[in-house]
Every structure is written in structure tokens, then in C-alpha cells.
Amino acid sequence: MFDSRDFDLAPYADCDADGLVRHTYCSWQTAGWRSMLVQCFTHAREAESFPLPGVSDLHLVLCTGGDTTMRVRSGGRATRRRWVPGRLELMVPGHATVRSYRATSTLSTVQVHIPRATVDRTAGELGGGAPDFEAIRDRVAAGDTVVEQIMRALPAAGGADDLYAESAAAFLVTHLLTGGRDHRAPGPERAAVRAGIALMRQRLADPLTLAEIAAEAHLSVYHFIRVFRAATGQTPYRYLTRLRIERAQELLTTTDLPLAQIAQRCGFASPGSLSSAFLAHVGVRPSAYRRIV
């Protein structure tokens, strides 16, 4: 189990999952993310009574493989839902459940935990009061293509740093709390955006958090993302990545520095992370770019 005071994971230590679930991916170990926890599992084809604890985190589950009818008991409430790829579920914080199912093929899921502190802070910034998690659960169960697409993409983004995870967590929470409604600022706050971009440029080589950039702009994380996107058309993470790639392009064409040093100077955790991001933005690997320019 992961040792972090930001996540409510201790109750899982008493959960007997031997033979029922198998880890296939964990962002904590693979990507080093601390702003959200992304895990992939394969599940046994059958479970007669599988208890899951109620935790305070925001916990989302996406079925990515298999076919079954999932029977869930929580308190005095019992539900039956078909689980097929694309089925989404939000686990209501604090509500323990007992699950049973018999699948026709191996089940697989992507599961996301976001700290309750992130949820409460965002709810406060939105000014909407305490979240109605049961209403959000019902809305998510009806289907949400935005949440589904993000959850499918997260395990493939393991080369990104924690700013990516922090941005994804902030977006997911805002989307869930607002029901996907657009809360766009009445006008871009240019000074705040300029301050954020200036910090990105000054600390291009450093690991930056979204909270640090927003603090430099004297805005909450939620408001900074909203204002920044209105002004630039991009998320802060994507904008910072573009700045880092542009700097890498400059170093590749004007110096003989090895790729490891360029990655370090541009804020990438490893040459592999730089190479993956460079390919996504430029269309070729850094080594190929250096040869052709």
C-alpha cells in the first residue's frame, strides 16, 4: 500500500483481494505522480462477496474489458448494472460496498483516486457548497464521454510529470462538480496569465506544480486554469510542455549537448520522457531532429 497522507488508502490494507484482483499499472510507482493515483487492474471472473471499504477520496472506476452483471450492496441499497467496456462508476466517499458478479471473460478496470482535499478546495472555489456525491454518482453512471476519455488516456501518460496529473485531477474534479457546465471567466486576466508564463520560463528546468504557478498569478488553481485557457486556448500543462519542447529544439540545433543534459535543462525527468513528448509535438525523435536541421 502507498504511504501518503494525502490519500485515504489505509482501509484497503484490511481488504482481502487475494486471487480477485491483480495490479497491471500504478502511476505512483511508474510515473511518480502524487496529485492523483491511477491504477489498472485485471479481476477474477467470479466473486461471490467482495467487500470494498468506504474511503474519503474521490474514486472513479472505468471498466475497460469483460462483460458481467455487477451486483452492489451498500447499506440498505442494492443495485444491478451491466458492466461492459465504457461503464463508469463513482464510489460515493464514505460508503462501503459489497460486490458480487460472474463474468463471461476477464474483467479489467482503470481506477482513479483524487485526494478529498483537492475536491473540497475546488468545491470551495466554485462556491457551490458541499458536493452531492450521490447525484454525481448517478450522473456518471449514465455515461460521461469526457471522464471516460481522460481515464483511458491517463495510464498512457506515464512519461508526463506530476503537473500533468495535477492538471488532470483539477479538470476532472471541476467537470464532475459542475456537471460539465462552462464556467468561463468574463474576460481573460492578462496580468495573471503573463505572471504564470513568466514563472514557467524562469523555471523551465524545474519540476513545477500547478499550485505554484497559480500562486505566482495570485489566483486559485481552479481560477488560474480557467483564465489561462481563456487567454491561450491551452491548459497550463500543455503550454509549459510546448515551452520546454521549444527550448529543447533550440539546444538540439545550437549545441552538442547529449540528450540527457538537454532533458535535464528542459525540465524532463529523463531522456525517454523528452523523446516521447518531442515526438508527440514535433513528429520526430530528438535524435532525428538534430540530424535534419
**CA 225 vs CA 98, 121, 133, 283, 288: distances in Å:** 38, 14, 23, 27, 34
Compute the distance between CA of residue 22 and CA of residue 261 in angstroms, rounded to an integer: 37
Q: Please state which of the four CATH numbers 3.90.1300.10, 3.40.50.720, 3.40.50.1470, 1.10.10.60 is assigned to the domain occupying 248-292.
A: 1.10.10.60
Unique residue bearing C-alpha cell 449514465: 142
With beta carbons less than 8 A apart as the criterion, state whether 192 and 213 touch: no
What are the domain boundaries of the chain? Answer: 10-157, 248-292
Task: Tell me the three state secondary structure of residue 94.
Answer: coil
User: φ, ψ for residue 280 (rounded to 5)?
Assistant: -65, -35
Query: What order do you get walking across the sheet with 37-43 strand by strand?
Result: 21-26, 37-43, 107-114, 58-65, 88-91
Q: What fold, for 10-157?
A: Jelly Rolls (2.60.120)
pLDDT tens, the chain, 293 aa long? 556 788 988 888 877 777 888 989 999 998 899 999 999 999 999 999 888 898 999 999 999 999 999 999 988 778 888 888 999 999 999 999 999 999 988 899 999 999 999 999 989 888 878 899 998 998 898 888 889 999 999 999 877 889 999 999 999 999 999 886 544 444 447 788 889 999 999 999 998 999 999 999 988 888 898 888 888 888 899 899 999 999 999 999 889 999 999 999 999 989 999 999 999 888 889 999 888 86
